[in-house]
A and B are shown apart, each in its own frame.
Chain A
Amino acid sequence: MTAPHYLPEGLPIPVPENDGLSRPYWEGTRRGELWIQKCKDCGTWQWGPEWICHSCRSFEIEWLQVEGKGRIFSWERVWHPVHPALKEHGPYIVVLVELPAAGNVRMIGNLLGDPRQEVPIGAAVEAVFESHDDTDPPYTLVQWRRVDDS
């Protein structure tokens, strides 16, 4: 599903590096898909992306689509803006989400909903794709929202 933008426009636009390391991730998010790295040789999941497997040092890394389901590993509520685009905006919540189905790798996002909500560590969340179609280049962020823990 798609969502309105959680933070105001004007923050830096994420783009792949010159060497293209993270391009499959950013292209995947444009399609509403979550793609991360897994080692073909030893099966270790890896995030963020790197050119080598940190576990067995194989260069045979593949990208796999994973389900956008995770648990909150940690969080913070930001009150003091450090970027002009965020002046007069706040608070907002940043979460660190671990993905149990992908070796508990962690991803950063915002927690959608009331910015003053309580945030239980361990709570279940699911990915929400937030499209920014009018920027140059366009991009899509992966955000998170609480779901039933059942």
Chain B
Amino acid sequence: MNGRTLRGKVAVAGIGETTYYKHGQAPDPEFKLALMAILRAAEDAGIDPREIDGFASYSNDRNDPSRLAAALGIRELRFANMQWGGGGGGGAAAVGNAAAAVATGMADCVVVFRALAQGQFARFGQGPRARTIDGDMAFQAPYGLMSPGQRYAMKVMRFMHDHGVRQEALRAIAMASYHHAQANPRAVMNGRPLTEADYDASRWIVEPFHLFDCCMENDGAAALILVPAERAKDLPHKPSYLLSAVTGSDYRCAAPSHNAPNYASASFASVAPHLYEMAQLGPGDVDVLQSYENFTGGVLMSLVEHGFFPPEEANDFLKPENLYAPGGRLPLNTSGGNLAECYMHGLELQLEAVRQIRGDSTAQVPDVEVSMVIAGPMVTPVSSCIFGSEATL
């Protein structure tokens, strides 16, 4: 340890989100959704929105911080940050970037947000429509390898082959999200329970992913507000302190044409050890986990790379009863996650991690002290973060 750390220096003061919609069903424009989520996070924090002095997001969010600042009448903009690349892999990195700004005095009150109306703009699950294509995609698109699911299925196929992981392990991950969504009135799939038979009978999207292994496409927005730790004590909610946030990927993860040396990977092999080092915790200390499901196979590899079980034990660990709140070994995606709450590009997972520490999740795990989030796997860069209660400081 070199003494440079974010551990305990920044806290989440407030969280907020819009209603979550199926794609194309939001009655409001994406920018307005962003404003609504930010205002709700400020209200939740008991903070005048004009006190916000920074914005952080990821995946080229379309809602420009300067426009947001002008629209909200923010007094002074001091931080405007975009995490490069990696799509939903940037969710925890955006929290880390915002926290770094707060911890170092660059800003005092930074909102992390993501607004996404896939019904109003291009949907992620569609292939390129251009007549010609160059660069790395020229080696992929002409073969019908275009969507995120198609891009990552071969990683999971190889991982399952190498370690004898069965389809039932992926199914358990889907079951956990749907199970928890049934208790969550915000969840798009609330009232739409999933059975193992439903999963097994669902159509293939791209083997090894059934329909229920794939995230939804949604409209909405979510936001959380970070302040210095010393300020959080005076705010209305029990604070969630950021214990660690890390981002990156391992050696030549982006090697073109699927040539990453560590191919069958969620990209966390080098990242996860840094996460635990900064948090001064290990996987056994984690009380509840939100792990981004672009595809269930990515969750499988994320959990292995974060040390929750070795790959050879995946079939034993990944059973629904182990993943269900409140009593499972590792309650997973307790709001319903990207599969069943809302695909808010994983920012909804950050909000849920905070709720678990506050004690007001709809699938609450008892006495949560350590609440972890793994952002979008298999991309590069990826990111993950850990929140803790005051007792962990």
Contact = CB atoms under 8 A, between A and B. Distances in A.
Interface string B135-175: 11111111111110110011101100100000000000000
A83 B133 CA distance: 14
A13 interface: yes
Contact of A47 (B141, B206, B207, B259): B259
Given A12-B130, A82-B150, A47 B144 contact: no
A77 B161 contact: no
Interface string B115-130: 0000000000111111
B192 interface: no
A73 B158 contact: yes
A75 B157 contact: yes
A26 B263 CA distance: 25
Contacts of A121: 157-158, 161
Interface in A1-27: 7, 11-18, 22, 26
B112 to A, nearest CB: 30
A94 B150 contact: yes
Interface string B244-283: 0000000010011111000110000000000000000000
Contacts of B259: 47-48, 105-106
A75 B144 contact: no
A68 interface: no
A107 B142 contact: no
A7 B205 CA distance: 17
- Please classify how large the interface on chain A is, using the bins under 10, 10 to 19, 20 to 34, 35 or more: 35 or more
Contact of A80 (B132, B134, B158, B203): B203
Nearest to A25: B139
Contacts of B140: 108
B139 A16 contact: no
Contacts of A94: 143-145, 150, 154
Interface in A57-106: 73-80, 82-84, 86, 91-92, 94, 96, 105-106
Name which of A11, A47, A78, A107 has the most chain B CB atoms within 10 A of its CB: A78
B4 interface: no
A108 to B, nearest CB: 6
Contacts of B135: 17, 22
B258 A108 contact: yes
B76 to A, nearest CB: 42
Name which of A15, A50, A86, A139 has the most chain B CB atoms within 10 A of its CB: A15
Contacts of B263: 73-74, 106
29 contacts: A12-B128, A12-B142, A13-B131, A15-B133, A17-B134, A47-B257, A47-B259, A54-B252, A74-B157, A74-B263, A74-B264, A76-B150, A76-B154, A78-B145, A79-B206, A80-B149, A82-B125, A83-B127, A84-B129, A86-B144, A94-B144, A94-B145, A94-B154, A96-B154, A105-B259, A108-B145, A109-B143, A121-B158, A121-B161
Interface of A: 7, 11-18, 22, 26, 47-50, 54, 73-80, 82-84, 86, 91-92, 94, 96, 105-110, 121, 139, 141
| Pairs A-B, 9 closest by C-beta atoms | A48-B256, A14-B138, A12-B133, A83-B127, A48-B257, A76-B153, A74-B158, A74-B154, A82-B127
